[in-house]
Amino acid sequence: MAILNVTNLNKSFGIDNILEDVNFLIEEKDKIGLVGLNGTGKSTLLKILAGKMTYDSGNLFIERGIKIGYLAQGAKFESHQTIGEALSSIFQEQHNQEKELRELENLMSSPEVYEDEARLESLMHRYSVIFEDFKTNGGFEVDSRIRGVLRGLGFDDEDTPISNLSGGQKTRLALGQVLLESPDLLLLDEPTNYLDLESIQWLEGFLKDYTKALLVVSHDRYFLDNVTTKIFELDNNRVSIYNGNYSDFMSKKHTAMIISEKHEETRQKAIQRLERNIQTFISHRNYIQAESRRKRLEELLPKSVLKKNSSSIRLRFDMQKTGGKEVLQIDDLGFSYGDKNILSSVNLKVYRGERIGIIGPNGIGKSTLLKILAGELEPQEGCIHFGHQIEPVYFDQEQQDLSPDATVLDEVWSSAPGLNLTEIRTFLGSLLFSGDEVEKSIKVLSGGEKSRVALGKAILQGANLLLLDEPTNHLDILSKEKLEDALKSFNGTIIAVSHDRYFLTKIATRIWEFDNGNITDIKGNFNYYLEKKNESKKNIVSEYKENKTLLRKAKLREKKEREKKRQQKKRLKQLEESILEKEIELEKLELMLCQPEVYSNPKKAQKVNSAYNQLISDLEQLYEQLDQEA
């Protein structure tokens, strides 16, 4: 059953169209991921659905009685309550029912009521009604649900005042409240922001088991793969719908793009052929046939523009110097904040070309280690030695090294004063800053724009050791992929803190896992790390058998997928060959229609025209089949 229906929805800000003729349905158990580049209007669409923003025209129908829960990006709230009180307030109805049940129990146990049979029966009936309602409303599960959310989102003490929380912790608490409300439709805007790996995995499990509808904006590709079963892509102001998770969407989109390009190529050839034929018929003064071709041409021309999105950054990290083979040595490193021990007797070596991913819960010291390596903090114990000609550069997730009042042009240019104005503007263009945008002040930029500025500064310094703290934060999916490709091509050394599992899977060749002041060094990629974590929880023998079974199943799935793609490719080739044959036949008939012995003979002309129209019909069916194969 559809719980929400959007038809022909439009929204603009001034002269900028954000949403244009948007149409979609949300069913009662849909798990939908909303994806698109930064600035395309994803958050705007969620605000409209949540009733937080008006739309210009169109229709938005929500089924009667449907409760919508909405988490804005970076949502925070101020309160004098504790964490536990804020979450408990969600269940005020159940608390009131429980209080009344206790009061009724006390009344029924009192002698004056116990001896009054009529009153006792009335109270027992009232107790039975409230008890059933309390049970139906999940009253007995309230405490366990609150504890589960507290643990899942990384809150250790429910008595902590909300006023003592950081901005990120307040966002997590806002997420916890929305989840506990259990609405019929969950609207979540970047819910994995400020969550560590364990909390993200908990949230994935929670949402996979959620029995109601979900629409989530996220740039976390792993998260989208694990949670969603449908993808809405917002591109060029419109929404396209794909069944399956994010990987399915990418595969279908890639195939659709190839088919569209081939279809467009064929269409352009048809346009050129019709234009030639029109001129031929006019030269033979066969104006009826010329007019027929002109109408056919008019049908083709509006569809001949294939939109392509060129808004993607172009990144490349180049080193000015190669540096020594041994990049970094950490000896007995120790650091603490007051009584809180962050690093204890850490000993590690890093070699040229390694790409190290640092993982662990929030607040455990990952960023602290990077700041020590970058020279922004001094070690309290032990020391750090850099190898020969090693030149590090530090990317701060908070971008605190950016000057708020500087322009984009001046801020980036300061990292490479040797470049001239044309060169720096060209470079900024590759980061999607063009024209007057380079004169924007840093303080007015979005999070994604600040990340691009910080990345630009890091690139221009030509370092051979990149120290990156959450480099994919605030970047859209396409920009993340461009960054990953650039880092994979980088010949230097990378040490990166990240909660982005997709990023870690593509980049890391070695993992440092933080745990209570210690660092576990896993010499392998992120998938190897996950395998080792699973091994520690299971019997090695049974794990070996299970892995063999999984491997066989995976190979079988891969074989079936390869066969499926081979058959699809074969069908596409056959369709393209059929189209080509029909096109050749069409040209022959068009030439015949130009011959006097044909167009002057009504019977012959009718026969050729009939064959011609049949070919046109056949071609249209072939084009439809070509589209369906996408």
- φ/ψ region of 236 (left if φ > 0, alpha if ψ in -120 to 50, else beta) reads left
Question: Would you call 244 helix, strand, or coil by DSSP?
Answer: coil
Q: Give mean pLDDT, residues 484-493.
A: 91
pLDDT (tens digit per residue) in 392-426:
999 987 777 889 899 999 999 998 888 899 889 98
pLDDT at 315: 85
B/e letters for 417-430, b = 16+ CB within 10 Å, e = fewer, are: eeeeeeebbebbeb
Which range in 166-170, 220-224, 270-274, 611-615 is most confidently predicted, on average pLDDT?
A: 220-224
Better-scored residue on pLDDT, 32 or 262: 32
Residue 492: which pLDDT band, with cuts at 50, 70 and 90? very high
Contact 194, 470 (CB under 8 A): no
pLDDT (tens digit per residue) in 79-114:
788 999 989 998 999 999 999 999 888 888 888 877
Residue 309 pLDDT > 50, yes or no?
A: no
Residue 629: which pLDDT band, with cuts at 50, 70 and 90? low
Q: Give mean pLDDT, residues 172-191.
A: 92
Q: Give mean pLDDT, residues 30-53.
A: 92
Contact 43, 59 (CB under 8 A): no
Better-scored residue on pLDDT, 240 or 311: 240
Residue 190 vs residues 57, 193, 194, 306, 475: alpha-carbon distances, Å? 27, 6, 10, 31, 12
pLDDT (tens digit per residue) in 455-464:
998 899 989 9
Indicate the range of 270-274, 293-297, 334-338, 350-354 predicted with least confidence.
293-297
Task: Write out the DSSP string of 150-179.
Answer: HHHTT---TTSBGGGS-HHHHHHHHHHHHH
pLDDT at 305: 39
pLDDT (tens digit per residue) in 562-609:
788 788 778 877 877 887 787 788 778 777 877 777 767 778 778 877
pLDDT at 198: 85
Residue that has been written with the tokens 């009061």 in this structure: 103
Better-scored residue on pLDDT, 63 or 290: 63
262: which 2 tokens?
């081939």
pLDDT at 301: 66
pLDDT at 19: 94
Q: Which residues contact 439 (CB under 8 A, 6 or more apart)?
A: 407, 408, 409
Q: How many helices (H) and strands (E) does the chain have?
A: 21, 18
Q: How far is the C-alpha of 469 from the C-alpha of 538, rounded, in Å? A: 33
Mean pLDDT across the chain, nearest whole number?
85
pLDDT at 548: 64
pLDDT (tens digit per residue) in 231-242:
999 988 999 999
Question: Would you call 561 helix, strand, or coil by DSSP?
Answer: helix
Residue 406 carries which DSSP code?
A: S
Residue 289 vs residues 65, 273, 277, 294, 296: alpha-carbon distances, Å? 60, 14, 9, 9, 11
Residue 69: which pLDDT band, with cuts at 50, 70 and 90? very high
Residue 630: which pLDDT band, with cuts at 50, 70 and 90? low
Q: How far is the C-alpha of 445 from the C-alpha of 312, rounded, in Å? A: 18
Compute the half-sphere exposure of residue 141: CA atoms within 13 Å on the CB side of its CA: 8
Q: Give mean pLDDT, residues 190-202.
A: 86
Residue 538 pLDDT > 70, yes or no?
A: no
Better-scored residue on pLDDT, 361 or 540: 361
Residue 271 pLDDT > 90, yes or no?
A: no
Residue 307 pLDDT > 50, yes or no?
A: no
Residue 431 pLDDT > 50, yes or no?
A: yes
The closest alpha carbon to 484, from 367, 313, 328, 246, belongs to 313
Contact 327, 389 (CB under 8 A): no
Q: Which residues contact 424 (CB under 8 A, 6 or more apart)?
A: 409, 412, 413, 416
Better-scored residue on pLDDT, 49 or 274: 49
pLDDT at 325: 93
Residue 58 pLDDT > 60, yes or no?
A: yes
pLDDT (tens digit per residue) in 238-261:
999 999 999 999 888 878 777 777
pLDDT at 300: 66
Q: Give mean pLDDT, residues 312-338.
A: 88
Give the bridge partners for 331, in sequence order. Answer: 383
Indicate the range of 30-34, 223-227, 360-364 predicted with least confidence.
360-364
Q: How far is the C-alpha of 312 from the C-alpha of 488, rounded, in Å? A: 18
Which range in 342-351, 440-449, 470-479, 615-624 is most confidently predicted, on average pLDDT?
A: 342-351
Q: How far is the C-alpha of 437 from the C-alpha of 482, rounded, in Å? A: 21
Domains of the chain: 250-309+563-628 (no CATH), 326-536 (3.40.50.300)
- Computed on alpha carbons and rounded to an integer, the radius of gyration of the chain in Å comes to 32
Indicate the range of 68-72, 119-123, 624-628 predicted with least confidence.
624-628
Distance in Å from the first CA to the final CA of the chain: 28
616: which 2 tokens?
């046109």
Q: Which residues contact 616 (CB under 8 A, 6 or more apart)?
A: 296, 586
pLDDT (tens digit per residue) in 342-376:
898 999 999 999 999 999 888 788 989 999 999 99
Indicate the range of 143-147, 287-291, 381-385 predicted with least confidence.
287-291
pLDDT (tens digit per residue) in 197-217:
888 989 999 999 999 999 999
pLDDT at 507: 93
**Residue ranges in 78-192 assigned as alpha helix (H):** 83-88, 92-109, 111-114, 117-136, 142-152, 167-181
Better-scored residue on pLDDT, 491 or 562: 491
